[in-house]
Amino acid sequence: MEQIREKIGALVHEHDAVLFMKGTPQFPQCGFSQQVAAIMDSFNITYEAVNVLLDPEVREGIKDYADWPTIPQLYIKGEFIGGCDIVSEMHACGELAELLKPLQQASN
């Protein structure tokens, strides 16, 4: 389990934004993953998407990593942001846009 934790930690810290999801942004495998991927895509930034369905250890390990029981999970600048409900609420109130603004500038 420690190796998985290190692997997840490396992914979270190597990329400015990481979305652990079921499926891919192009082919999400659940509605919640689809919703968060669509929100992220709306900002036109580069983010790393990790399909947890490809690796059962990552699928279970990510839940322990953030002590968060559900997928998808969004990380920005190494910090756990939340799952679908939290990301959707942050998007609706403009908080997510503020958080992603530096990444948008870096992508341009």
Give residue limits of the domains in the chain.
Answer: 2-107
At residue 63, the 3 state secondary structure works out as helix
- Per the confidence metrics, is the pTM higher than 0.85? yes
- Cα distance between residue 104 and residue 46, in whole Å: 8
Query: What tens digit of pLDDT does each residue of 5-49 get?
Result: 999 999 999 999 999 999 999 999 999 999 999 999 999 999 999
Please state which of the four CATH numbers 1.10.10.10, 3.40.50.1000, 3.30.2350.10, 3.40.30.10 is assigned to the domain occupying 2-107. Answer: 3.40.30.10
Q: How many CB atoms neighbour CB 49 within 10 A?
A: 20
